A and B are shown apart, each in its own frame.
Chain A
Amino acid sequence: MVRGRRAALLHAVLLITSLAMVFPLVWVFLTSFKTSQDIIRATPTLLPETWTLENYGKLTQTAPFVRFFLNSLLISGVSTVFIIITCSAAGFVFAKYRFRGKNLLLLLIISTILIPLQTYMIPLYLFTRWLGWINTYQGQIFPLIIMSSGIFFLRQNILSIPDELLDAARIDGASEFGVYGRIILPLTVSPLAAISIVNWVYTWSMFIWPLVVANTEDMFTMELGLMYFQRQFITEYGGIMAATVVTILPVLLVFLMFRTRIIDGVAYTGMKT
């Protein structure tokens, strides 16, 4: 433990910088409760002069934010269910099976971790179009059902499950599906939870893919809805603040609920795809 004057200095540096990091978030939160005259005052104050909920009240009238919320929930939810299955099943095979070309395949998967969607979204878009999935939920979801870093992460975890355990089940007559369902899945709950939360946050925050695939308001995610909202109501300062807070809130709540798991998950999988 650091003590004395050095500790005081250390804490001063940490406290000032960390508060500066969250200050923009605190500021937007407080501003969303201000009246519109209060917001554009020449000398802004941190706290609202009079607290008001009118900015939030107007939100659902000007844009279907409930619909945006449900769309985001559906897209990131379905994606996460897929991620759980694909990562654990592929991770199981990569950890416990032996066949020719396996390592090459794993190497291919690892090497795609570093390639961002932005570089190959054009063929993906044309493929989506060919499938007739533009402006649909399927179209928004399908690039998000494989997570390269998640497959690798699960493979590393499943490697530590002893072979004896799997063989005991096999000898008892369990099929591979049984081994997967009754041994692999229950024993990987914790890494699966980590990548699920990371994937949920990632898909929830996704912007460029919904931007090119979703065209009509009923297909918008929260990010997309917020973007159009702030563009359309450029002078509705209070409304934009309230909409921003509403968009941040779900992620913030999930983060505060699963703080350690998210931090660990992000540190080990690197987040993003």
Chain B
Amino acid sequence: MVPPDGSGFPSSTTATAAGVTVHVPARRRAGSLRALRRSQLAFLLWIFAPIIALFIIIRVIPIFVILLFSFTNYSITRPVWRWTGLANFERLWGDANFLSALWNSTEYVLVAVPAEVVLGLFFAVLLSRRVRFESFYETLYFLPYIIPMVPAAIIWKWIYAPGSFGLANFYLEALGFGRVGWLTEPKIALLAVIGMHVWKNLGFFVIVFLVGLKNIPADVKEAAAIDGASEWQTIRRVELPLLKPIILFGAVMATIWAWSAFTEVYIMTQGTDVSTGTEIAVLVFRIYQEAFRFYNMGYASAISFVLFVLSLLFVLFQFQLFRGWKEEGA
């Protein structure tokens, strides 16, 4: 059989990778295939490669540089720097400022993460009961999350203000309690700031968990109901276990945000009795001070590295925790 174009080659075959059959003369097809390959390579070279290069410069190299810097005494005020081995890390152990920041950050994580996950689940479960005005409530919960941290922190600095115009103290007094030095007593100040952090982020967890709950197929819940499970049993035995991957995602995000908290601490300690920041300073606050106030880039890099490793460990720990939950067969 001679093809209609008389070229002596079969005229209809599969072109490119996708299985589209077209009638093109074999020689032209070969040519256009070559043109196609060339334009694909050009796209990779001129568009994709620069994007990846930017990604590597902005996101990947800095992380390795942090590790390198943490073994030096680098400072932008000093022209010469040298390798100092583990000196920065040894110094960390004796640095009271660092140790208190480490403890404060740990407290931040230990309080904020469970609070955000539990409260987020609580409101998401309530909202998932197919309530009326759901989107109205959803919007209100979400609102604090969407506004920037700086104005939010300033508002809460005012709520916590020591004088009578501080709303928190005003309501405490109205209820018959004494005034509290919200931002002036170190022990309370950190918890007050964490409370603000939870208020700010809660909406994110409500939304994420709610989306997850809504994605659970209705027949699964119906099957549980037919088997005579009460609503609470359905939530506990069916919905929450199915939501597990989303809860893990939420817990991971909460952990990262708690470790990297900075803005609210920075804003809320300004101009108060703890304004030196040592009492309630968190790790990022120390990094900021060491690197951009005292210009000890090497030492600050060591703190950054500790922060990086700690967040990684906590995230891995959560993955482990959730795997355990699965094997338990809940």
Chain A residues at the B interface, C-beta cutoff of 8 Å: 1-2, 7, 10-11, 13-15, 17-19, 21-22, 24-25, 27-28, 39-44, 86, 89-90, 93, 97-99, 105, 108-109, 112, 114-116, 118-127, 129, 142-143, 145-146, 148, 163-164, 166-168, 170-171, 173, 175-177, 180, 201, 204-205, 207-208, 211-212, 222-224, 226-227, 230-231, 234, 237, 240-241, 244-245, 247-248, 251-252, 255, 259, 262-263, 266-267, 270-272
> With contacts A17-B141, A21-B143, A208-B288 known, what are 11 further pairs, Cβ within 8 A?
A2-B130, A10-B126, A18-B140, A44-B170, A93-B47, A120-B308, A123-B61, A167-B17, A175-B42, A212-B292, A234-B271
> B207 near A266 (CB under 8 angstroms)?
yes
Given contacts A18-B141, A21-B140, A267-B208, contact A164 B287 (CB under 8 A): no
Query: A168–B165 contact, CB under 8 A?
Result: no
Taking CB atoms and an 8 Å cut-off, the chain B residues in 55-70 that contact chain A are: 55, 57-63, 65-66, 69
Interface of B is mostly: helix
* Pairwise interchain contact B144-A116, C-beta atoms closer than 8 A: no
Q: For the complex, is B84 an interface residue (Cβ under 8 Å from A)?
A: no
Cα–Cα, bound, A116→B59 (Å): 10
A-B contact pairs, 26 of them (CB 8 A): A10-B129, A22-B140, A22-B143, A24-B152, A116-B256, A118-B284, A119-B63, A123-B66, A167-B17, A170-B36, A171-B15, A171-B24, A171-B32, A175-B35, A201-B146, A205-B149, A207-B263, A212-B292, A224-B150, A227-B150, A227-B267, A247-B151, A248-B148, A263-B138, A266-B208, A270-B253
What is the 8 Å Cβ interface bit string for chain B, positions 22-58, against chain A (1 contact, 0 not)? 1010000000100110011011100110011011011
Contact in complex: A204, B204 (CB < 8 Å): no
A175 to B141, CA, bound (A): 47
| B42 partner residues in chain A, CB cutoff 8 A | 175-177
Q: Is the CB of B126 within 8 A of A108?
A: no
Chain A residues with CB under 8 A of B311:
114-116, 119
Task: Tell me if A231 and B204 are in contact (CB < 8 A).
Answer: no
Cβ contacts under 8 Å, B133 to chain A: 11
Within 8 Å by CB of B43, from A18, A176, A259, lies: A176
A-B contact count (CB 8 A): 270
B205 to chain A, nearest CB (A): 10
Chain B interface size, under 10 / 10 to 19 / 20 to 34 / 35 or more: 35 or more
Residue of A nearest to B59 (CB): A112
Task: Tell me the complex Cα distance, A10–B308, Å.
Answer: 42
Q: Which residues of B contact A11 (CB under 8 A)?
A: 131-133
| Contact across chains for B76 and A126 when beta carbons are under 8 A apart | yes
Q: Judge whether B140 and A122 touch: CB under 8 Å.
A: no
| B277 contacts partner chain A, Cβ-Cβ < 8 Å | no
B300 beta carbon closer than 8 Å to chain A: yes
Chain A residues within 8 Å of B73, by CB: none
Q: Is the CB of A119 within 8 A of B308?
A: yes
- Chain B residues within an 8 Å CB radius of A118: 260, 262, 284, 287, 304, 307
User: How long is the Cα–Cα vector from A177 to B311 in the complex, in angstroms?
Assistant: 40
- A170 to chain B: which residues have CB within 8 Å? 16, 36
Taking a contact as CB atoms under 8 Å apart, the answer to whether B256 and A231 are in contact is no
Consensus secondary structure, chain A interface: helix
B199 contacts chain A at the CB level, 8 A cutoff: yes
Contact A14 B18 (CB under 8 A): no
Q: Once the chains are docked, how many angstroms separate the CA of A15 from the CA of B137?
A: 7
How near does chain B come to A59, taking the closest CB pair, in angstroms?
Answer: 14
User: Which of B39, B145, B165, B304 makes the CB contact (< 8 A) with A41?
Assistant: B165
Quick check: B287 and A122 within 8 Å, CB to CB? yes
Q: Is the CB of A21 within 8 A of B39?
A: no
Q: Looking at the complex, which one of A14, A163, A230, A272 makes contact with B127 (CB distance below 8 Å)?
A: A14
Contact status A42-B63, CB under 8 Å:
no
The closest CB in chain A to the CB of B29 belongs to A171
Q: How far is the CB of A116 from chain B (nearest CB, A)?
A: 4
CA distance A265 to B62 in the complex (A): 28
Stretch at the interface among B93-101, B155-163, B176-184: B155-163
